[in-house]
Structures are given as structure tokens and as C-alpha cells.
Structure 1
């Protein structure tokens, strides 16, 4: 067991992409971090080792975010190892695209299980366990405003995430815990870039007034603000998208 520290974060989906940048940014702020992963154990182990080499404190945990028992165990591990939980960041989610007319309903159910039920399960555990002065941060998407064709089912799942999050902020009245949703725009992660032609990437990079794609560290900075000094921001959806929508 590691020595308990003052500030502890649990990052769901923390082994790669935006989640990895969030983990690294919170480590910079002195957090001890529990890194959750779904399938990429090697990436999670490498990240834990890298943090330890730099003098930080982190452990890894796996589990299905939509599984109540698995998430209860993950939260319990964080408490047993570090003494409590102050910040929960849920970047875990999946995106399956297709028109509303043509999307396979089994794919709809699979995505909604992770994005909606998973967010609800994680939020439920966070509501029970996060300490006073803490923060709960869930992830939506700018596409809930941009309304691109082919994103209908994904947008529906993320609109539900916003509803869960903003309601929870009101339910935690008097607990000194902030609850917000972060909604990134197009962000240059391997998952986002995979399968896209150079022309499509270039077009997306010019969509925002800042004329570039977001970087994972852009999103991590917004998380760090909500997890730290942003105590007067509560019950909001924050759009980190360079002005796209």
C-alpha cells in the first residue's frame, strides 16, 4: 500500500488518449491517481511505471464501468490505497456512428450501456464516496450542439450524460462537491484520427476559429481547473472546443 496523500483522483478510461493526459496533468498538480482501464493493461502498467519513475503515485485498476460490483471494487481500492477519493473523472465511453435510419439497435444498446449506464454507475459511486471539497467530472461531446449527421445515437447517449451530471450537482447540495460535464470538440487522439483521410482531418481542423484540432492536453487543462481552483463552477456543461459551437 502507498502512503495516503492529501488529494486523490480516480480517472476512468485513464490509460490512453484524453484520459492519459488527464492523469498526467493531475499528477503534475500533486494528486495520487487511480488509473482505470478497460482492456489495455499494458498501457496502464506503462503509465503507472512512468509516473513512479517521476516520483508520482499511481495504481491501476480494471473493470467494466457499467458493472456495479466492478466499480464498487475500483472505488474501494482507491480508498484502501490512498485513504479516500477527492476527484472522479469519467472519460470512459465508446462512439458508434451511423444514421438513425440504419444504425443496428444492438450497437445502440452496447454504446448506451457504456455511456449512459456506465456514467450512472460511476456517478452513483462518486456521489457516495467523494470527500467534501471534491469534484465529479463526466464527459459529453460538442456534437450535442454541432448535430453532425450520423452521430444521433452517440449524441443521445451524451445528452443523457449531461442530464445525469447536472441533476447530481443539485442532489449533492450542501456536500461541497462540484459536479460538471466537460464536452470536448474534435481532439487529436489516435482513436479520433483512425480511419480518417487527411482531407477530412484538415477540414475538421479548420472548423474551429482557432483553426486546429484540440490536443489531449487542452482537455486535461480544463479538467485540472474543474478539479482544482474552479470551485464556483458547478452543475454546468463546459465546452472545450476552441469555439467550434
Structure 2
């Protein structure tokens, strides 16, 4: 009983320290965890965050790639500008072109006015393209042109539209292998992978489980207006991490 109470006290102390860091800095420190795998990814991200270089975030689904992209934006000179997130897997393929690129009035059937696409919405800021490995080859060609020239031509227009966006892409696929297999354009892959960061899966962050358990326990307790009690799994992982 005493040992469990001590574990609970240590867990709350570590969580309180983490929360103070989060309050002081709304960027990488907001990512919960202190494991070596997470720290390595954060250190790499901090180095490239102030630049405007294109980034590719790798890692499995649920690893926190969008949170990493938001942290990169917060640590950049574009933090006051738009952050537009697009998940390709959620868009019908026949509508993706219309959503990403703008079009002029009457350029398409039923288009009664100009339509600003997501590229223009992100102008001056950061565009996060999730699940980019799902993008069709013809759309890959259009995106590559945007990266090369920072411009595109709207359907129904004759003049190119200039955009200034910092692109962060994410995938859970091996794009280098996909390019070798002919399923992803080599040119786009090399443009995207100027700097690559692999967001570690939770299987490589076992030391972070106590903090994550305590954070979500407190989060949902606050939302439901009920007192938070230390759960058995958090106590177990706290004891495991303290002896490892």
C-alpha cells in the first residue's frame, strides 16, 4: 500500500512537471513523453523547424504525426499564419483536385463563383498533407509542380496563381520503395524527403506510458467533472519504468 502510494506521488510529480513545461512552451514540449525515442525525434524537428524546408514525417497511424506537424509550425516563423491539414484518405478522389486547387467562376459545371482551394487558404502558412502515399499519380504531378514553382493555374484561368506555403507531408508507407515500384513519383519523393523525421510508435516509447495514462486520466476526469484516481495500469508502468 505504501509503495503504491509512493508510485502515485511520483507519477503526479512527473505529470505536474510536464504540465509546467507545456504551459511555458506551446510547441514540442506539449508532446507528452520523455522517452529517448521521442526526444531524438524532437531534437531533429527543432533543428529544422525554423527553416522553410519541406518535411516528410514517417511513422505508423496514431503515432502523432499531425501533432508533430503542428509543433513544427508553432516553432517556425509561420506560427501566426494558417495551418491547413488535409488527409487524402478522407477525400473522394474525384473531389480532391477541386478541394486542393482553386477554380474560376463557371470553369466547372455549376460553378457560379470563384472557389478558393486549400493551397490558397494556406498561403503564407503551413500546409500539412497526411497520408500522401495515397495520392494518385496525376495529382502527384500537380503537387510536384507547386513545390517546384510555388504556383499553379486554376481551371478556367490563364494566369498562374502564386502561393507561398511550407509543406509538411506525412505517411505510414515506405515512399522510397513505392517510388522504386513505380507507385510514387521519384521527383515528388525527393522533393518531400528533403528532411525526414520518423515519429516513433508507442511500442518504442514504453517509458512514456505512465505520463500518457495519467494525462488522459486527468483529461477525461476533468471533462466528466469527476475526481481522477490513479489507475492500476499507470501504477504498474510507473513501477516498471522506475526499475528499468
TM-score w.r.t. structure 1 length?
0.33
Whose RCO is larger (CA < 8 A, sep 6+)? 2
- Select the structure of larger CA radius of gyration: 2
More helix by share: 2
More strand by share: 1
